[in-house]
Structure 1
Amino acid sequence: MKTAPILLIVLLSIICLSECKDLIVGTTYNNRLLWQQKVEYNAIPLKKRVKEVFYSDPGQQIFKAIIARDIDHTDAIATVTAGGVGFSYVNIRLKSERGSGLNYQIEIYS
C-alpha cells in the first residue's frame, strides 16, 4: 500500500522531466537574486549548439537556487555539470536541438 504513492510520485517526476523545458534547482522563496544573464546563441542548420556558462561568486555566497529559463520554449536541454546549489560556483551546459539556437535567461539566488 505504501509503495503506490511513491510510484505515483516517481511517475509524475519522470513525466515532468520529459515535458519541462526549464532547469529549476532549489527554491527562490525568501532568497535574493545574486546574478542573472541572458544567453543567446544563433542557430546553424543541421547543427546542435552547445554553450557552457560558468559563474563563481566573488563573495563566496552559497547558492540556494539556480533557474535557467528557455525563452523560446524549444527542446533545448540545460544541465548543471559542476557546483550548483550548496556551492559558491556553478557550470551550466546548454545544448540546443538540431538546427535551433539557444535563448536562455539564467538566474542565481543566494
Structure 2
Amino acid sequence: MKLALVLAVCLLTFVCISECKDLIIGATFNNRLIWQHKVEYNAIPLKKRVKEEFYADPGQKTIKGIIARDMDHTRATSTVTAGGVGFSYVNLRFKSERGSALNYRVEVYV
C-alpha cells in the first residue's frame, strides 16, 4: 500500500515537472531580488510570438539566480540567449505557442 502511494506521488510529481515550462536557473534562496518585470505580448491567430527582454545591473553585481514563470501555464518557452548566472546582464528570449499570448513574470536575484 505504501509503495503504491509513493509511486503515485512520484509519477504525479514527474508529470507536473515535465509539463512545466518555467525557467529556473541558479540559486534564488537567500539572495536579494533586484529586478522583477512582467513580459506580456498579445496573441495573433496562427502565429508564434517572440519577444526579447534585456536586464543589465547598473552596479555590475553578479547575477546568482533567474526565474521566468509562465503565468498562463501554456507551452511557451523561455531561454537565456546571452549573459545569465555569473554575469551582470541577461538577455531572455520568450516564444509563445502558435496562436497564444505570452504572459511571464521574470525575477533576477543577486
Q: Distance in 2 between matches of 1:104 and 1:86?
A: 23
Residue identity matched to 2:55: Y
Identity across matched positions, percent: 74
Unmatched runs of 5 consecutive residues or more in structure 1: 1-12
The letter for the 2-side match of 1:87 is F
Please report how far the alpha carbon of residue 29 of structure 1 lies from its aligned counterpart in structure 2 after TM superposition: 1.1
2:100 corresponding residue in structure 1 = 100
**Partner residue, 1:29:** 29
In the other structure, the counterpart of 2:74 is: 74
Structure 2 CA distance for aligned equivalents of residues 45 and 78 of structure 1: 20
Q: How many residues align?
A: 96
**TM-score w.r.t. structure 1 length?**
0.83
Q: C-alpha separation between the residues in 1 aligned to 2:86 and 2:20?
A: 23
Q: Which runs of 4+ in 1 moved over 2 A?
A: none
Letter in 1 for 2:39: V
| Structure ID, larger Rg | 2
* 1:21 Cα offset (Å): 1.2
Residues 82, 90 of structure 2: 8 Å contact kept: yes
How high is the TM-score relative to the length of structure 2? 0.83
Cα distance in 2 for partners of 1:38, 1:60 equals 22
> RMSD over aligned Cα, in angstroms?
1.4
In the other structure, the counterpart of 1:88 is: 88
Q: Does 1:64 align with 2:75?
A: no
